[in-house]
Chains A and B, each alone.
Chain A
Amino acid sequence: DAKTTQPPSMDCAEGRAANLPCNHSTISGNEYVYWYRQIHSQGPQYIIHGLKNNETNEMASLIITEDRKSSTLILPHATLRDTAVYYCIVRAQLEYGNKLVFGAGTILRVKS
């Protein structure tokens, strides 16, 4: 699975958009970009994933560059409850499932 690089931490004002970048320059053609987050000591939570098109769901938007070497997770209106570690993970989708390889994510602190 391709390696990802994320900033170690970011701050965001409550109510503003949080934009979390991720570099994955060695991503392969069959690998997807996944985002998970972990609120202190809770189980990681799935946020969103995409292959090459931008994706949006009720939690966030995912913007993937045309060359697929980087992506940005956007939380449109951050709240204090969005304070968490955010993990960008690149992995292929396999018929029998595929493990998640967690690297060093981004600690997002949402402040009032």
Chain B
Amino acid sequence: AAGVIQSPRHLIKEKRETATLKCYPIPRHDTVYWYQQGPGQDPQFLISFYEKMQSDKGSIPDRFSAQQFSDYHSELNMSSLELGDSALYFCASSFLNEQFFGPGTRLTVL
């Protein structure tokens, strides 16, 4: 069965650079979620989209923005990267309420 696809899987950036993470949900899933997991921490909700509209917002820094496109894929844009942004970024998708997670993007900021 098709799963959530995230790209890239690994990303290395310098401080103050920008990064774009992409998420392709499971076909027919209408909701996308973004989570951040720092080293040794539990996943933390960042933002979600339902039918291309922002549906909820968590502890997402102002330097980050996201959107969901007409084909339901989503992109997380991160600017002015800081060392503390180094983390695993997971995307999840759902139709109704069970969320299915992608393999994550590991972002390293040097």
CB atoms of B92 and A43 under 8 A apart: yes
In the complex, the chain B residue whose C-beta lies closest to that of A97 is: B31
Which chain B positions have C-beta within 8 A of A104? 42
- Count class of interface residues, chain A: 20 to 34
In the complex, the chain A residue whose C-beta lies closest to that of B41 is: A102
Chain A interface main SS type: loop
In the complex, the chain B residue whose C-beta lies closest to that of A43 is: B101
Digit string of B47-71 for contact with A (CB within 8 Å is 1, else 0)? 0101100011010000000000000
Shortest distance from the beta carbon of B22 to any chain A beta carbon, whole Å: 15
Instruction: Mark out the residues of chain A between 9 and 54 whose CB falls within 8 Å of any chain B CB in the assembled complex.
Output: 32, 38, 41-46, 49
Which chain A positions have C-beta within 8 A of B42? 87, 102-105
How many A-B pairs fall under 8 Å by CB? 61
Q: Is the C-beta of B99 less than 8 angstroms from some C-beta in chain A?
A: yes
Which chain A positions have C-beta within 8 A of B90? 43-44
Digit string of B66-110 for contact with A (CB within 8 Å is 1, else 0)? 000000000000000000000010101010111111111010000
- Count class of interface residues, chain B: 20 to 34
Digit string of B2-26 for contact with A (CB within 8 Å is 1, else 0)? 0010000000000000000000000
Which chain B positions have C-beta within 8 A of A80? none
Which chain A positions have C-beta within 8 A of B50? 96-97
Which chain A positions have C-beta within 8 A of B58? 99
Shortest distance from the beta carbon of A32 to any chain B beta carbon, whole Å: 8
A100 to B56 Cα, complex, angstroms: 11
Which chain A positions have C-beta within 8 A of B97? 32, 49, 93-94, 97-98
Shortest distance from the beta carbon of A35 to any chain B beta carbon, whole Å: 11
Residues of A within 8 A of B (CB): 32, 38, 41-46, 49, 87, 93-94, 96-105
